Amino acid sequence: MAQLGKEGRSNNKVGSIKATQAFLDYANNADTSAFSDKQLEQHNRQIDIAAKNLIKFQNEAINVINNPNKSIEEKENAKAEISELEKIMDEEKELAKQNTDQNDKIFGIEKSIAYIIIGFFIILIILFIYKKIKK
């Protein structure tokens, strides 16, 4: 991230990139298994926004590289910025994979197995109530 602070980069942009990275670091460590569907949807929407911001920053850096009026130093800074952004994007991809894996689990077990277990206990409760009523 040190390259991002070099001449020609705005402080606002550097702050936005650092904030995006901080959010992704937080999201990487968030336990989403206890989230409601609405909370999980909001969490994933925030991750999507962060990813779009990174792509926007990367496109701006590519424009600097492709601009013939920019100095060699500015182009080198933009290349370093792209490298840093790609690292952050790789973290984001890993986060998305982890969230997908967590979404397929209930209490740490696969959803399909959890539904079978829950169904089994519901049937046992119904049978127990039926036997009590029948007596």
Over the stretch 93-128, which tens digit does the pLDDT of each residue have?
Answer: 777 677 666 666 666 667 778 788 888 889 988 888
Please check whether residues 8 and 51 belong to one and the same domain: yes
Q: What range defines the domain where residue 120 resides?
A: 108-135
Please check whether residues 38 and 8 belong to one and the same domain: yes
Please check whether residues 55 and 7 belong to one and the same domain: yes
Please check whether residues 60 and 83 belong to one and the same domain: yes
Tell me if 104 sits within 8 A of 111, measured CB to CB. Answer: yes
Residue 1: pLDDT over 70? no
Please check whether residues 65 and 115 belong to one and the same domain: no
Query: How large is the average pLDDT for residues 78-107?
Result: 74
Please check whether residues 48 and 89 belong to one and the same domain: yes
Task: Locate 60 and state its tokens.
Answer: 């701006």
Read off the pLDDT band of 5 (50, 70, 90).
very low
Please check whether residues 68 and 120 belong to one and the same domain: no
Provide CB contacts within 8 A for 62, sequence distance 6+: 78, 82
How many domains are there within the chain? Answer: 2
Tell me if 64 sits within 8 A of 78, measured CB to CB. Answer: yes
Average of per-residue pLDDT values in the chain = 76
Please check whether residues 18 and 75 belong to one and the same domain: yes
Please check whether residues 23 and 61 belong to one and the same domain: yes
